[in-house]
Amino acid sequence: MNADRRIDGRAFAENLRARVTEETARIKAEHGLTPGLAAVLVGEDPASQVYVRNKNKQTIEAGMNSLGETLAVDTSEADLLATVEKLNADPAVHGILVQLPLPDQINPNAVIDAIEPAKDVDGFHLRNVGLLATGRGGMVPCTPLGCEMLLKERLGDLTGLNAVVVGRSNIVGKPMAQLLLGANCTVTIAHSRTADLPAVCREADILIAAVGRAQMIKGDWIKPGATVIDVGINRVPAEEEGKTRLVGDVAFDEAVEHAGAITPVPGGVGPMTIACLLRNTLVAACRQNNIDVPDI
Ligand code: GUN
Q: pLDDT per residue over 79-123, tens digit each?
A: 999 999 999 999 999 999 999 999 999 999 999 999 999 999 999
Region(s) of the chain under CATH 3.40.50.10860: 31-122
CA of 237 to the centre of ligand 1 (A): 24
200 lines ligand 1 (CB under 6 A): no
Residue 2: which residues within 8 A CB-CB, separation 6 or more? 256
Centre of ligand 1 to C-alpha 223, Å, is 31
State the average pLDDT over residues 128-157.
98
- Starting at the earlier edge strand, list the strands of the sheet with 162-166: 186-190, 162-166, 206-209, 227-230, 261-262
pLDDT range class, residue 1, cuts 50, 70, 90:
very low
If phi > 0 it is left, if psi is from -120 to 50 it is alpha, else beta; for residue 290 that is left
Query: Averaged over 160-181, what is the pLDDT?
Result: 98
Lowest-confidence pick of 3-12, 146-155, 196-205: 3-12
Per the CB < 8 A criterion, the answer to whether 223 and 202 are in contact is yes
The mean pLDDT value for 129-146 works out to 97
In terms of Cβ atoms closer than 10 Å to its own Cβ (0-12, 13-18, 19+), residue 127 is middle
What are the residue numbers of the active site? 55, 99, 122
Nearest to 122 by CA among 150, 89, 144: 144
Cβ-contact 187, 151 below 8 angstroms: no
- Residue range(s) occupied by CATH 3.40.50.720 in the chain: 142-269
Q: Kind and range of the H or E element at 230?
A: strand 227-230
Q: What pLDDT does 3 receive?
A: 64
Which residue puts its alpha carbon closest to atom 11 of ligand 1? 100
- Distances from the Cα of 22 to the Cαs of 34, 142, 205, 210, in angstroms? 12, 20, 35, 32
- Of 225, 230, 221, residue with least CA distance to 263: 230
CA 148/CA 229 separation, integer angstroms: 9
Question: CA of 250: how far to CAs of 85, 160, 260, in Å?
Answer: 40, 24, 14
Query: 227 CB contacts (<8 Å, ≥6 apart)?
Result: 7, 151, 154, 155, 205, 206, 207, 259, 260, 261, 262
**Whole-number average pLDDT of the chain:** 97
Q: Does 142 contact ligand 1 (Cβ within 6 A)?
A: yes
The CATH homologous superfamily for domain 31-122 is Leucine Dehydrogenase, chain A, domain 1 (3.40.50.10860)
CATH of 142-269, one of 3.30.365.10, 3.20.20.70, 1.10.490.10, 3.40.50.720: 3.40.50.720
Percent of residues in the chain assigned helix, strand, coil, to nearest 5? 45, 15, 40
Question: Among candidates 160, 95, 148, 149, which has minimal Cα distance to 122?
Answer: 95
Statement: the pTM of the whole predicted model exceeds 0.85: yes
Backbone angles phi, psi at 208, to 5 degrees: -105, 120
Best residue among 41, 97, 176, 272 to mutate for probing ligand 1's pocket (most ligand atoms within 8 Å of CB) is 97
- Does the beta carbon of 100 sit less than 6 angstroms from any atom of ligand 1? yes
Average pLDDT of span 117-145: 97
Beta carbon of 38 within 6 Å of any ligand 1 atom: no
Read off the DSSP letter of residue 220.
Answer: G
What are the DSSP calls for 149-204, one per residue?
HHHHHHHS--TT-EEEEE---TTTHHHHHHHHHHTT-EEEEE-TT-TTHHHHHHT-
pLDDT reported for residue 2: 60
Q: Name the residue at shortest CA distance from atom 9 of ligand 1.
A: 99
Ligand 1 pocket check for 255: Cβ under 6 Å = no
Residue 95 in 3-state DSSP?
strand
